Amino acid sequence: MDLFDAQQRMQALSQALNEHNYRYYVLDEPSISDREFDALLAELAELEKAYPQWVSPNSPTQKVGGQALDGFQTVLHKRPMMSLGNTYSYEDLDEFDQRIRKAKGLEDIEYNCELKIDGLAIALHYQNGQLAQALTRGDGSQGDDVTENARTLRSLQTQLSGNYPEEFEIRGEIFMHRKGFEKLNAQRAESGENLYANPRNVASGSLKLKDPKEVAKRPLDIVLYQVLEDQNRFKKHSESLEAAASWGLKTAKESRVCHGLSEVKAYLDHWNQARKNLGYDTDGVVIKVNDKALQAELGFTAKVPRWAIAYKFETEAAHTRLLGISYQVGRTGAITPVAELDPVSLLGTTVKRASLHNANEIERLDVRVGDWVFVEKGGEIIPKIVGVDLSKRGPESQPHLYIHECPECGTGLIRNEGEAQHYCPNALACPPQMAGRIEHFVSRKAMDIQSIGAEMAEDLVQTGWIKNPADLYTLSFEQLMSMERMGEKSAQNILDGIAASKTQPFERLLFGWGIRYVGETVAKKLAAHFGSLQTLMQADFDQLIEVDEIGERIAEAVIAHFSQERNRDIAQRFEELGLQTQTLKKEKQSDALAGKTFVISGVFAKHSRDEIKEIIEANGGKVASGVSAKTSYLVAGDGMGPSKLEKAEKLGVTLLSEDEFLALLDT
């Protein structure tokens, strides 16, 4: 086959395979057998191997996954991905409808209603008919680039057809059908792995896997619900979805245009019952003004669009018997009571266990072993007991006595004043606490040692070699090879992962350490402010609360952590072992802001507050936590503190928007 013929054949195969994928996964109307499809795919793969210069990133062969990724880049959304206001009542819907009709003097509003699917929000960017980028919601202003993983979705067309815009964005939800979820869990049960909790968490976690080949094995689906483009070619939201479907994209077939609120309520009444027959989870309906011009007029609040609202269905309850109450120990030592239930079907899944949260909740419900109880799924995901059927309680029933000792290590439990949770204080020797801390330390957002999972963390703790995170860095090949079911390659992968984690930045080390109340964001702020582990360890209460968003509770927890000799010893070992215990200083870029003092307040569209602080310092300026007579500018974002605004106005301090601040760098 000459070069021209090969290129033509590759293009023809790609087009045919894309069409077959669309017919099978979107239309549910396959036109060839699986064997015929596989033969065409194999032929394309062979041609791509022979002629790699013509391989498209959107080739159908990418549905089985490409090369493993080093990580996910965080990217700013072109348009913020905002949340929706929620309601559970028709009264709120009436108010929503009346507000819009009154403001615009209209008798009825045309709405577009669509099911609210429980999955992971995604923003897809297409250029010239090809998928260019896929971003997760993230914090709404920026998300992770998961393009290579998104390409593996069979129901997602990466090469469009028809009269599509040159460039546009479309948003939707990636989710998993219950049958796919159950099949995945059955496979994990056969291999002795822990079962997944629910379809939504698996869908979200799958898209964050670093190996697209593994993502391709997950039964993920997608539905798209919002087209965003600069030309304003569509007058109605429903028209934009019809157009997207004509380009080959999968939109919600259950969506409906409703004329007036009475039709909206009829749609809600129908799906409140019909949702039980769906093969996936939905917890409500999103109601949007259908007219795009009216959407633009209504605009947005700081957090939500004024032209859309999510109606949440009342949670379905099940009636079953409480067989017993067990207790789980978390990595922080927190004790969580768990209701062991007679298995019962609830929203398409079998529920055997439900959280009872704490001793206060057990006392409030007066729930007792042997009771018949009512169970709901909080947020349609987590089962919880919401009441007791007292009519079925027998005279022999006795109040439940909460445990006084840790179920894992036998240590007496403590309960801090003003807190509902009991704790096991034996942090050094309680096995689930030790394993939980290691599992947290190696997690993706901490030290990212992917070769160690939950089971391996437990196994390492049980050997007695690992008592704290620093011990990981002294593991030897011989020790690992002495463990059951450990092969040479697995052992080396673990050691390589541990060694590579030494390059993770200080903020990740701090987050992974698991200091109480120090989450990912707080760890970043502490690392940026103090610059090194030694400086942070020496910080007093006043110095800690000077840090943006660090309150008294966090400050007290940090001081308590470093007051313990064992934690100071671990800090010293981290330094000796070569982990990153200092924040890398960024090079100075200019003196454009020299001599100026800035205060930052609120939320910004293009940068986080920490990023704005870095920009100020990199260009010679200073950042202060409070407004004073020495403040040159107050950089003001959405939701800024009213006290700072009042003081700035009183002192005559100049207010800058984000764009006005950035303009200073060009002057």
Compute the average pLDDT of residues 388-401. 92
Tell me the pairing of strands 120-127 and 130-136: antiparallel
Angle at 149 between CA 248 and CA 507, to 5 degrees: 140
| Superfamily holding 316-425 | Nucleic acid-binding proteins (2.40.50.140)
Give 431-503's CATH code, choosing from 3.30.1370.60, 3.40.50.300, 1.10.150.20, 3.50.50.60: 1.10.150.20
pLDDT value at position 380?
A: 45
Where is average pLDDT lowest: 313-322, 478-487, 563-572? 313-322
Q: Which residues contact 618 (CB under 8 A, 6 or more apart)?
A: 586, 587, 588, 589, 590
| Superfamily holding 86-312 | DNA ligase/mRNA capping enzyme (3.30.470.30)
Where is average pLDDT lowest: 136-140, 295-299, 375-379, 628-632? 375-379
Same fold yes or no, 316-425 and 431-503:
no
Please, where are the H alpha helices in 26-129? 34-50, 90-104
Q: At 446, is the secondary structure helix, strand, or coil?
A: coil
Please, where are the H alpha helices in 247-291? 261-274
- Pairwise CA distance, residues 548 & 551, whole Å: 9
pLDDT value at position 475?
A: 95
Q: What share of the chain is helix, strand, coil (3-state, %, to 5)?
A: 40, 20, 40
Please state, in angstroms and as integers, the Cα–Cα distance from residue 631 to each residue in 45, 306, 347, 544, following that order: 63, 36, 57, 21
Query: Where are the chain's structural domains?
Result: 3-55, 86-312, 316-425, 431-503, 506-576, 597-664
- Pairwise CA distance, residues 469 & 492, whole Å: 19
* Residue indicated by tokens 């067989």: 323
Closest Cα to residue 508, out of 435, 568, 449, 588? 449
Compute the average pLDDT of residues 58-68. 66
Active site residue 78: no
Question: Would you say the C-alpha torsion 53, 57, 60, 61 has a positive or negative sign?
Answer: positive
pLDDT band at 82 (very low <50, low <70, confident <90, very high): confident
Angle, to 10 degrees, between the axis of helix 261-274 and the axis of helix 90-104? 150
- Pairwise CA distance, residues 199 & 212, whole Å: 19
pLDDT band at 204 (very low <50, low <70, confident <90, very high): confident
- Pairwise CA distance, residues 80 & 340, whole Å: 42
Question: Encoding tokens for residue 38?
Answer: 């596989």
Compute the average pLDDT of residues 435-450. 91
Chain-wide mean pLDDT for the chain? 87
Compute the average pLDDT of residues 330-354. 87
Q: List 318's β-bridge partners, or say none.
A: 375
Compute the average pLDDT of residues 387-391. 92
pLDDT value at position 667?
A: 62
Query: Is 192 a residue whose pLDDT tops 70?
Result: no
Which of the residues 63, 102, 116, 265 is marked catalytic? 116
Give 3-55's CATH code, choosing from 1.50.10.10, 1.10.3720.10, 3.40.50.150, 1.10.287.610: 1.10.287.610
- Pairwise CA distance, residues 503 & 448, whole Å: 11
* 471-507: pLDDT as tens digits: 999 999 999 999 988 999 999 999 999 999 999 999 9
- Pairwise CA distance, residues 274 & 158, whole Å: 32
CATH class for the domain made up of 506-576: mainly alpha
- Pairwise CA distance, residues 436 & 353, whole Å: 21
Closest Cα to residue 323, out of 341, 337, 338, 336? 341
The DSSP code sequence of 601-646 is ESB-SSS-HHHHHHHHHHTT-EE-SS--TT--EEEE-BT--HHHHH
Domain 597-664 part of CATH 2.60.40.10: no
Query: Is 540 a residue whose pLDDT tops 90?
Result: yes
| Other residues' Cβ atoms within 10 Å of the Cβ of residue 614 | 16
Give the DSSP H/E element, type plus range, for residue 170: strand 167-176
Q: Which residues contact 365 (CB under 8 A, 6 or more apart)?
A: 356, 385, 387, 388
Q: At 111, is the secondary structure helix, strand, or coil?
A: strand
Check if the beta carbon of residue 116 is closer than 8 Å to that of residue 310.
yes
Sort 554 into a burial class: Cβ within 10 Å, 0-12 / 13-18 / 19+. buried
φ, ψ of residue 567 to 5 degrees: the values are -75, -35
pLDDT value at position 340?
A: 95
Question: Encoding tokens for residue 422?
Answer: 């009991």
Angle, to 10 degrees, between the axis of helix 454-463 and the axis of helix 431-441? 130
Share above pLDDT 90 across residues of the chain, in percent, rounded to a whole number = 48
pLDDT value at position 412?
A: 96
pTM here is 0.52
